[in-house]
Structure 1
Amino acid sequence: MSSLNSQLKGFKSGVVNQGNFVQARRHIASPAPAAQVSPASTPGASGSGGNSSSNAAAIAKRKKPVKNNVVYSQPADTGMGLYIMTQVLHLVEHLKEVEKPLTRADLERFLAKPLDSTMIEILRSHDKLVFDHVTDTYAFKPLHNIRSAQQLLTHLQASTTAQGLSVKELKDGWSGALATIDELEADGSILVTRTKKDGQARMVWINDKSLNVTIDDEFKTIWEKIVIPPAAELPGELERAGLKPTSVDPATIKKAMQKDQGKKQKKPRRGRITNTHLAGMLRDYN
């Protein structure tokens, strides 16, 4: 019993001491925040100058530094993309728009950055660009080297086929293609086919004026007075006029085909003769 009583007294004394410790912690005064500065402690206000300068220095120390998002390991974005092929695409489109050769300095000025050896190698081997080793210039290579009315007429006259030339191909590298086509069409130098929806030029051909034939108005009047019968009655009209039609009436051909299909020859059905040993004894009823 004495040992139990001593343990109980020790437990009670520990609980009492713990309660006093918690109570003592509650009475500890918290320090005043250093970030809050009263108007009296600011520079230029009333009060001691030493306290204001120390408070301002403490505030400056507690300010968070401004984050710098610039990554110095990556190239600067100049608006032309960060990848080489993207920049090459911008250079090709720029050369296509200006329609004249540009030097390396011109291209670097357009990209706002110097061209490295990799970029130079890609530009010189590009299938849409032409590099001149003498002048050290780069130019866009269109599908057809045509940029004037005279060049267009020369190209069409030298053509050995009657396929014509696509206007879409002409506009590749020649911004004034449509205006020149309209002028040559109005002059009668070329023939143009256009779309029905918006009248845009599609194909162009050379107009050989030596093949133009002048027809008298009297002949045109006689030609327009001739009435052509319908296609179904044309063979009959030719026969009544004593002319032989170049083709037979389709209705007659259809009827003849139907008659031929109805008259199919029937082959005689013959059985297999197996009793050949009775050939002299049997009677033939055929």
Structure 2
Amino acid sequence: MSGLARDAAAFKTALHRQDYTSWHSQPPGLQPQQPPAPAGDDSKKKKRPKSSTSILLDSSAFGPADTGTGTNVNTQLVYLVNHLKQNGNPMRLQDLAILTNTPVDVDKVLLEKFKAHDRVIHDPKTDLYSYRHDFNVRNKAALLTEIQRQTRKGGGLSVRTLKESWKEAPQAIEELEKEGEVYVTRTLKDGQMRMVFWNEVKPTEEQGGMPVEKEFHDLWHGLEVPNDVDLLKALASEGLQATASAAPNVKPGAARKKGKKSAPRQRQVRITNTHLKGTIDLSRDYVAPGAAPK
């Protein structure tokens, strides 16, 4: 047998003894096909329901539940004061604790801070708590009195602040405006009321303050201001002239020509060695022999 034949026989023997099960290129074996289930048997199609206990998480592992008002005393105090402000009416402490979900009725520290707040009013007779607004206004007459008091001081009142003290304040201000009792400033964008002032001059025929008739109102706004050229011509035709604008007050020597530099000023030399006066000219710079000039 030749050498080539022996090599071929040895390769075939090694090939038969090789294990292909661990090779990635080995195709997977064919799975035996299961017979289809009968049409009427649906037991194998139904999946086993997952247990609900396997997906529920223990909420205690994530800390206490969020009550919306937090656990800090100062945060709970803010919720209490804001709720008292929005409610607008006196409230019991127990009702505040329930509505704000805060322990103000059992927590002594929180209760002391709540009572000591500068915006909280406690009535010991009724044991009710209310919010202290900037203005104690509850009707139209009291509103006008407060507006008069503030206007005499030299200022007006913010409509937003009055609304916080009394919810019906905007409607009352509009009625007072129609009656001529107050002046109201509004925003340019949407015309919302901004500030209110007391009208000291009542709209009467004797004292004035009556609205201008629409005819004169239209005539006033229909006037057009001429341009500069036409205005000068109109003045000249009447024998008038425009006033000259005042010339700017410019100090002498302030205006200088561009591109030219001013000459350096002569520096005055202060002579201190008065005993050498007459022998040496101290205003000159002397150079020592052999020294290079500066």
Normalising by structure 2, report the TM-score.
Answer: 0.51
Give unpaired runs (5+ residues) of structure 1.
Answer: 1-62, 263-271, 277-286
After superposition, the Cα gap between the structure-2 partners of 1:215 and 1:92, relative to the gap in structure 1 and judged at 3 Å, is closer
8 Å contact 1:235–1:249 — kept in the other structure?
Answer: no
8 Å contact 1:76–1:82 — kept in the other structure?
Answer: no
Q: Counterpart in 1 of 2:180?
A: 188
| 1:98 aligns to 2:92 (yes or no) | no
Q: Counterpart in 2 of 1:30?
A: none
Q: 2:244 aligns with which of 244, 249, 252?
A: 249
Between stretches 163-172 and 120-129, larger displacement belongs to 163-172
After superposition, the Cα gap between the structure-2 partners of 1:191 and 1:173, relative to the gap in structure 1 and judged at 3 Å, is same
| 1:111 aligns to 2:66 (yes or no) | no
Q: How far apart are the structure 2 equivalents of 1:260 and 1:235?
A: 35
Q: Secondary structure at the match of 1:185?
A: helix
Structure whose residues are more often helix by fraction: 1
8 Å contact 2:81–2:131 — kept in the other structure?
Answer: yes
Q: Counterpart in 1 of 2:171?
A: 179
* CA drift at 1:260: 10
After superposition, the Cα gap between the structure-2 partners of 1:235 and 1:118, relative to the gap in structure 1 and judged at 3 Å, is farther
After superposition, the Cα gap between the structure-2 partners of 1:155 and 1:117, relative to the gap in structure 1 and judged at 3 Å, is same
Deviations 1:144-169, CA, capped at 9 Å, x for gaps? 22343222200112232332111232
Normalising by structure 1, report the TM-score.
Answer: 0.52
Q: Counterpart in 2 of 1:70?
A: 60
After superposition, the Cα gap between the structure-2 partners of 1:95 and 1:227, relative to the gap in structure 1 and judged at 3 Å, is closer
* CA drift at 1:92: 1.3
Give unpaired runs (5+ residues) of structure 2.
Answer: 1-52, 256-267, 269-277, 279-294
Q: How does 1:217-232 map to 2 (within 5 A)?
A: 220=216
Query: What do you get for the CA RMSD once the two structures are aligned?
Result: 4.9
Deviations 1:60-117, CA, capped at 9 Å, x for gaps? xxx98x874337xx87654332222222222112111111111212212323444321
8 Å contact 2:83–2:100 — kept in the other structure?
Answer: no
Amino acid at match of 1:178: P
Q: How far apart are the structure 1 equivalents of 2:178 and 2:159?
A: 16
After superposition, the Cα gap between the structure-2 partners of 1:235 and 1:124, relative to the gap in structure 1 and judged at 3 Å, is farther
After superposition, the Cα gap between the structure-2 partners of 1:236 and 1:155, relative to the gap in structure 1 and judged at 3 Å, is farther
Amino acid at match of 2:60: V
Q: How far apart are the structure 1 equivalents of 2:155 and 2:189?
A: 23
| 1:197 aligns to 2:193 (yes or no) | no
| 1:139 aligns to 2:130 (yes or no) | yes
Q: Counterpart in 2 of 1:151?
A: 142
Give percent identity, aligned residues only: 32
